[in-house]
Amino acid sequence: MTKNANQWQQLPKFPTSHFVDSRIYTDEQIFHEEREKIFNKCWIIACHESEIPNAYDYRTFRHPGGTNLIVVRGEDMKVRSFYNICPHRGNTLLYDPVGNAKRITCIFHAWSFDTKGNCVDITREKEGFQNRFCKADAGLREVRTEIGFGGFVWVNTDDNACTLKEYIGSALDMLVPCMEEELEVFHYHKAIVNTNYKLWHDTNSEFYHDYMHYFNRVTGMLQPGYFDRKYVGYPNGHASVGSMTIKYDAYEGSKERGVGWPNLSPGGWILIDIFPGMTYNLRTSVLRMDTSIPLGPDKLIIEFRGLGLKRDTPQERMQRIFDHNTIWGPFGRNLHEDLLGVHGQGRAMNRLSDQTWVIHGREENMTIHDEGGMRHFYAEWSRRMGRKAYDPYGEKLISAAA
């Protein structure tokens, strides 16, 4: 039976935790608040330590809260982060995505900074500023930085935030034994998609969409144990999905998976979503890391990384790269489908489109096709935003039935 305009607007027959209002994906004001209340409050992955192995190595990062950062390894090998903004006339300090700089010198008027963020030279300082302003007044804005959970470099623009350890809690416990050895990034690419960042995180938080992926549908879903995998929610909006064994050699084009991963059962799979937009995805021989950088409510950069072990032999690395590319590479079979999915959502639920309810209503004892992972995310989102995901403008009179 179809619906008329009135019926389309009616609240779904679910508890209010089980659906959201599509306007949370398109509203400029909500996006502005998300930057302030979520992205500029939470710990965010900027890069991996293997990308800046040597003293003075730096990496620039477009922080999802809005400000561009520099992540730099000092002479003391400590990694620090700063706003990539010159305290003189606001120029970008480092233009390249990566490099090595003993001194960070602004191209504009040649003010110079060390890797601890101290200003070490102001050109013609005395002549222009006399005693009114000096190098000590021109330090860079430092941003809290910690390395952890697989050697990722995490930043937090909120000086008063809890520690990274507190933020993660026990959410990554399942993966910690698999990340004891040093990791190394071997794959990096970005995609820009016209969609909301939450929709990408949702896709990473539900496996029901295995129906979209041919091989997951015809092989993965038929594996014993597939429906036993469970979602677990953790404080701060993180969620994990437990391991299962995938029989890769059951279908054509996939060789025997020989390389494996330390402390992961052969063919195992662990996926952990970290609020608000990061996903650890460890499958068989590769760790994939997705990080989201929203550019607006309907525009998103996703950074994709593939990681192996630093100690890999060339043969082992080649196998990991092969495993990665077949499924998750830019020409891999699943990535394009996952991106098409969220592209389609962004297109359907666009800024000008009629409001829609997005249903997260599946309950299967929190097993793999349960939509509890997404519900867990939106509970945290609502808490941080002070807005209800199902009623972001407080316009619905939700009855006691909810």
The contact set with ligand FES (CB under 6 A) reads 86, 88-89, 91, 106, 108-109, 111
206 part of the interface to Fe ion, by CB under 5 A:
no
Judged by CB, which is closer to Fe ion: 110, or 340? Answer: 340
290 part of the interface to Fe ion, by CB under 5 A:
no
125 part of the interface to other proteins, by CB under 8 A:
no
CB of 380 to Fe ion, least distance (A): 22
Considering only 131, 136, 253, 256, the residue that binds other proteins (CB under 8 A) is: 253
Positions in 323-352 near Fe ion (CB under 5 A): 338
3-state secondary structure 365-398: CCECCCCHHHHHHHHHHHHHHCCECCECCCCCCC
- Cβ atoms of 202 and 175 within 8 Å: the answer is no
CB of 74 to other proteins, least distance (A): 19
34 part of the interface to Fe ion, by CB under 5 A:
no
97 part of the interface to other proteins, by CB under 8 A:
yes
Pairing of strands 19-21, 104-105: unpaired
List 327's β-bridge partners, or say none. Answer: none
Residues ≥6 apart with Cβ < 8 Å to 58: 52, 70, 71, 72, 73, 94, 98, 99, 100, 101, 104, 115
Positions in 135-194 near other proteins (CB under 8 A): 185-193
CB of 94 to ligand FES, least distance (A): 12
Binding partner of residue 299 among Fe ion, ligand FES, other proteins, none, CB cut-off 5 to 8 Å per kind: none
Question: In the complex, which residues of this chain contact other proteins (CB under 8 A)?
Answer: 50-51, 59, 96-98, 185-193, 212-214, 252-253, 318, 321-322, 325, 329-331, 333, 335-337, 339-340, 342-343
